[in-house]
C-alpha cells in the first residue's frame, strides 16, 4: 500500500511513522509513506499557503493553489483510491473504517491547519473526510499519523501471529479481555487460576466472558 501525505508540517509525522510497527511495515515493503511539504507548492514568495477568509472573521484559511498544485502533480504519477482530508468535522474514525481503508491500494491524505482549507478543495478533490475524535487538534498531522498507524498494522504480513490484529479490541465489537504476565503472585495480587490451568477451551471461554463483561461495563454502545 502507498500513502502520500500533504502537510505544512511534515516533520510532525516523521517520528511516529519511523518506529516500531510502522517502521517494520515499511522495511518489509508492505507500506510506502511519502511526505509532501505543502510550502514547496506555494505560488507566493516566502512559501505562503494561507490567507484571510472572505466575509471576515478570525483565523486564516489554507489557499487553493498550493493544494491543487500538489494534488495534481501527485495525481499525474499515482491513481488514488481515496483522497482523505483530516478534519474535526469528518466521519469519526473507527475500526471498521480502518479495516476497509487497509484494503485499498493508494491513499492521499491532506492535513488541515488554521481554520481549515478552502471549501472548493473539499468540493472538487476530497473523496472522504475523517476525524479522529470529537476534539480539535492544532492540525491534521497527528490525525494522519493515527490513521496511518491504524491502517498500517492491518496490512497482511505486518503483524506476526502473536500480535495479530484479529484479537484486537473492536475487531468483533468487544473490548479486549484483561491480560497477565509473570510473576504469578506480586504482593499477593494473583493471576487468575484459570489462566494457569492449561485448559485452552476454558481459557478461551473465560476470556470471551471477560470481554463481554468489560464491554457491557465500559462501552455498552458497542453491543
Ligand atoms: N484536525 C483538527 N482536529 C482534528 C481531528 N479531531 N481529527 C482529524 N483532524 C483534525
Q: How far is the CA of 63 from the centre of ligand 1 (A)?
A: 18
User: Which of 152, 182, 209 is the endpoint of a domain?
Assistant: 152
Q: How far is the CA of 112 from the centre of ligand 1 (A)?
A: 8
Would you say the CB of residue 22 lies under 6 angstroms from ligand 1? no
Clarify whether residues 86 and 16 are in a common domain: yes
Q: How far is the CA of 182 from the centre of ligand 1 (A)?
A: 39
- The answer to the question of residue 15 being in a domain is yes
Separation of alpha carbons 39 and 49, rounded Å: 6
Would you say the CB of residue 112 lies under 6 angstroms from ligand 1? yes
- The answer to the question of residue 161 being in a domain is no
- Over residues 54-69, the pLDDT tens digits come to 999 999 999 999 999 9
Burial state string for 10-38 with b = 16 or more CB within 10 A and e = fewer than 16: bebbeebbeeeebebbbeeeebebebbbb
What does the chain come to in residues? Answer: 223
- Over residues 20-48, the pLDDT tens digits come to 999 999 999 999 999 999 999 999 999 99
State the virtual CA torsion across 57, 61, 121, 90 in degrees, nearest 10. Answer: -80
**All cell numbers assigned to 155:** 496490512
Average pLDDT value for the chain: 95
- Over residues 193-223, the pLDDT tens digits come to 999 999 999 999 999 999 999 999 999 999 9
Instruction: Give the pLDDT band of residue 160 (cuts 50, 70, 90).
Output: confident
Clarify whether residues 71 and 144 are in a common domain: yes
CATH, residue 176 = 1.10.1270.20
Clarify whether residues 88 and 177 are in a common domain: no
Which residue has the least CA distance to atom 5 on ligand 1? 88
Q: DSSP E strands: which ranges in the chain?
A: 2-7, 32-37, 50-52, 60-62, 82-92, 106-111, 128-131, 185-186, 189-190
Would you say the CB of residue 132 lies under 6 angstroms from ligand 1? yes
What is the strand order of the sheet 82-92 is part of?
Answer: 32-37, 2-7, 106-111, 82-92, 128-131
User: Which of 118, 152, 186 is the endpoint of a domain?
Assistant: 152
**All cell numbers assigned to 123:** 468540493
Q: Ligand 1 atom closest to Cα of 138?
A: 2
- The answer to the question of residue 162 being in a domain is no
Domain extent for 60: 2-152
Amino acid at each position: 500500500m502507498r500513502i502520500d501525505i500533504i502537510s505544512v508540517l511534515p516533520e510532525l509525522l516523521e517520528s511516529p511513522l519511523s518506529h516500531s510497527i510502522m517502521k517494520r511495515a515499511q522495511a518489509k515493503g508492505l507500506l510506502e509513506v511519502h511526505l509532501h511539504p505543502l510550502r514547496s507548492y506555494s505560488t507566493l514568495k516566502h512559501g505562503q499557503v494561507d490567507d484571510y477568509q472572505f466575509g471576515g472573521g478570525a483565523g486564516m484559511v489554507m489557499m487553493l493553489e498550493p493544494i491543487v498544485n500538489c494534488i495534481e502533480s501527485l495525481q499525474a504519477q499515482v491513481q488514488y483510491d481515496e483522497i482523505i482530508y483530516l478534519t474535526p468535522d469528518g466521519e469519526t474514525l473507527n475500526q471498521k473504517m480502518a479495516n476497509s481503508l487497509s484494503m485499498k491500494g493508494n491513499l492521499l491524505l491532506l492535513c488541515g491547519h488554521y481554520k481549515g482549507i478552502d471549501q472548493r478543495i473539499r468540493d472538487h478533490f476530497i473523496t472522504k473526510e475523517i476525524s479522529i475524535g470529537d476534539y480539535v487538534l492544532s492540525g491534521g498531522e497527528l490525525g494522519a499519523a493515527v490513521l496511518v498507524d491504524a491502517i498500517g498494522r492491518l496490512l497482511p504480513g505486518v503483524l506476526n501471529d502473536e500480535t495479530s490484529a484479529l484479537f484486537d479490541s473492536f475487531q468483533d465489537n468487544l473490548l479486549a479481555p484483561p491480560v497477565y504476565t509473570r510473576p504469578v503472585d506480586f504482593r499477593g495480587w494473583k493471576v487468575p487460576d484459570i489462566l494457569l490451568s492449561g485448559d485452552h477451551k476454558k481459557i478461551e471461554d473465560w476470556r470471551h466472558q471477560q470481554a463481554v463483561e468489560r464491554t457491557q461495563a465500559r462501552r455498552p454502545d458497542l453491543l
